Amino acid sequence: MTDLPTDLTRATAADLADALASKTISSVEVTQAHLDRIAAVDGQVHSYLHVDTDGALAQARAVDERRQAGESLGALAGVPIAVKDVMTTKGVPTTCGSRILEGWIPPYDATVVTKLREAGLPILGKTNMDEFAMGSSTEHSAYGPSHNPWDLDRIPGGSGGGSSSVLASFQAPLATGTDTGGSIRQPAAVTATVGTKPTYGGVSRYGLVALASSLDQAGPCGRTVLDTALLHAVMGGHDPMDSTSIDAPVPPVVEAARAADVRGMRIGVVKELGGEGYQPGVRARFDESVALLEELGAEVVEVSCPNFGYALAAYYLILPSEASSNLAKFDAMRYGLRVLPEGVDAPSAEQVMAATRDAGFGDEVKRRIILGTYALSSGYYDAYYGSAQKVRALIAQDFDAAFGRVDVLVSPTAPTTAFKLGDKLEDPMAMYLNDIATIPANLAGVPGMSIPSGLADEDGLPAGIQILAPATKDERLYSVGAALEKALVDRWGGPILDRAPELGVAAAAKGA
């Protein structure tokens, strides 16, 4: 067994799980170490919207007692986790990054959360995100952005920037995410962490605040490929509460991560995802990773997916259309915020609704509701939504053709490294372009993963490589991801995240 570092927050989830299983450490110790770390650094990073100190320690005590009593426990029992605030947590605030849900305490757990609880993972708290998962930077969070631990003036990605920054600042060994167009993978890429968007339907959507139901997929976030696989195995599987959930066992992701073997695999480099518009340092790290995969025994070919160029346009019609419908439920009547219009004596329900939605939704959410409502309106439906659905079918066909030739596809995850907070806030198109490489997978429902590929020469910031596999073949992501991760650890003389600057713990404590 690997020796644990003295600072438990630096350990991998896999090593913590081993030490917990052998009773070398307790879950209360591990959980407390993370709560201390949160108290010391989250003032600077702002990864959490809510820290559940008492709840986490109570769950840790409970799992320690079960272990002492000799119960057989799951692989990650006792390892604490951070949960993206898009997932409902019974008795624990869930805002989805929005004012409209401020103060709402869900009466039930999302299925993913139920699975985490049953598997004995203490929930440290809820992580920050762009409002209703719309964004690539967390700057659309109604509660202020999270910061990238590599450079606090930069974005940690989005919408799941709370979860990525939690991992990169060692405030939790594991986190959950959701990925509608890249919100697990892009945050992973810009923080040198790992994230997987499973096959659509591979993880239950029950209890996730819906953004675009045909694209949304929950998935695991970690610092290593194996940790991410262990969490994937806990989160995944059939759920009768979600009619789109796949009725089949979770693919053998942990076995694949442990085997870390690409020998004989055919890997396709997507011609359309790279080149112009991609930062030179991101491209250089990508090319180097592809060369490493070849050295490891994979066969690499170039593959063309001609319709990927239309993915972004199709996505920004389909997503707003579905979002405008999903967000109609925030009507000031059922739950959440209720604002009465000023100067109206006996306001109608419609006036209360309008005042509430005006006050409760941020600009990006309003922009997308307007866009979606327009695209779905009669007379425009066929021209916009209908055309976008046709493009979606063509993108799925591109994937089918590609996977007829290769086992997995690879590309850079995001076109650039982390940009400065504020840089793209006034320019929605520039913000949307972050997801140019991640969106095709959501449109087709195929699984994707991002792992760190190294640091870009021009700015010293992390870049990511994306791996894509055919639907239900999620284990291939882990075979390739784990093999490449090993080679890259050799190449960089250790995990890339080890090169991140230390956060000023003392300064934070003083400022707090």
Active site members: 84, 159, 183
DSSP class of 132: G
Q: Which is nearer to ligand GLN, 133 or 311 (CB)?
A: 133
**Which residue, among 324, 340, 343, has the nearest Cα to 332 in the 3D structure?**
340
Contact 173/222 with Cβ under 8 angstroms?
A: yes
Options 136, 176, 413, 466; binder of ligand GLN; rule CB under 6 A: 136
CA atoms of 322 and 215, how far apart (whole Å) = 9
**Which region among 128-136, 271-279, 300-308, 467-475 touches ligand GLN (by CB under 6 A)?**
128-136
What is the C-alpha to C-alpha distance for residues 356 and 231, in angstroms, rounded to an integer? 38
Nearer to ligand GLN, 26 or 138 (CB): 138
Which is nearer to ligand GLN, 368 or 476 (by Cβ)? 368
Minimum distance from CB of 48 to ligand GLN (Å)?
A: 19
d(CA 215, CA 319): 8
* Closest-CA residue to 277 (of 253, 307, 309): 309
Site for ligand GLN in 243-262 (CB under 6 A): none
Quote the tokens at residue 302: 């170039």
Terminal Cα-to-Cα distance of the chain (whole angstroms) = 38
The residue among 74 and 222 lying less far from ligand GLN, judged by its C-beta, is: 222
- Closer to ligand GLN by Cβ: residue 33 or 414: 414
Structural tokens at position 144: 């202020």
Residue of the chain from 30, 83, 133, 332 that contacts ligand GLN (CB under 6 A): 133
462 with 455: CB under 8 angstroms? yes
CA distances 230 to 187, 253, 367, 455, 474, Å, are 20, 8, 38, 26, 13
**Least CB distance from residue 136 to ligand GLN, whole Å?**
4
Least distance (Å) from ligand GLN to the CB of residue 86?
8
Q: What is the x/- site pattern for ligand GLN, positions 303-322, by CB under 6 A?
A: ----------------x---
Q: Are 286 and 453 in contact (CB under 8 A)?
A: yes
**What would the two tokens of residue 33 be?**
């170490």
Please report how close the Cβ of residue 242 comes to ligand GLN at its closest, in angstroms.
18
C-alpha span between 67 and 61 (Å, rounded)? 10
CB of 331 to ligand GLN, least distance (A): 22
Q: Which of 109, 139, 435, 485 binds ligand GLN (CB under 6 A)?
A: 435
Single out the residue of 120, 135, 187, 320 in contact with ligand GLN (rule: CB under 6 A).
135
Q: Which residues have CB under 8 Å from 70's CB, separation 6+?
A: none
Backbone torsions φ then ψ of 242, nearest 5 degrees: -125, 110
Selected from 56, 75, 134, 269, the binder of ligand GLN by CB under 6 A is 134
- Contacting ligand GLN (CB under 6 A), which of 60, 211, 293, 391? 211
The distance of closest approach from Cβ of residue 24 to ligand GLN in the complex, given in angstroms and rounded to an integer, is 38
Query: Where in 47-106 is the site for ligand GLN (CB under 6 A)?
Result: none
For residue 392, what is the enclosing H or E element? helix 387-403
285: buried, middle or exposed (CB in 10 Å: 19+, 13-18, 0-12)?
A: buried
CB of 331 or CB of 435, closer to ligand GLN: 435
Q: Which is nearer to ligand GLN, 182 or 251 (CB)?
A: 182
- Min dist. Cβ of residue 8 to ligand GLN (A): 31
Q: What is the DSSP letter of 386?
A: I
The count of residues interacting with ligand GLN (CB under 6 A) is: 13
| Length of the chain in terms of residues written | 512
Contacts of 313 (CB under 8 A, 6+ apart): 388, 391
Q: Which stretch binds ligand GLN (CB under 6 A): 44-52, 134-142, 286-294, 305-313?
A: 134-142
Closer of 181 and 268 to ligand GLN (Cβ): 181
Name the nearest CA neighbour of 286 among 488, 493, 500, 489. Answer: 488
Least Cβ distance, residue 207 to ligand GLN (angstroms): 16
Residue 443 lies near ligand GLN (rule: CB under 6 A): no
CB 221 within 8 A of CB 163: yes
DSSP H/E element including 67: helix 53-68
Contact predicate 205/242, CB 8 Å: yes
Tell which positions 154-193 bind ligand GLN, by CB under 6 A.
159, 179-183
Closer of 75 and 184 to ligand GLN (Cβ): 184
- In the complex, the smallest distance separating the C-beta of residue 16 from ligand GLN, rounded to whole angstroms, is 28
d(CA 477, CA 494): 21
Q: Which residues bind ligand GLN (CB under 6 A)?
A: 133-136, 159, 179-183, 211, 319, 435
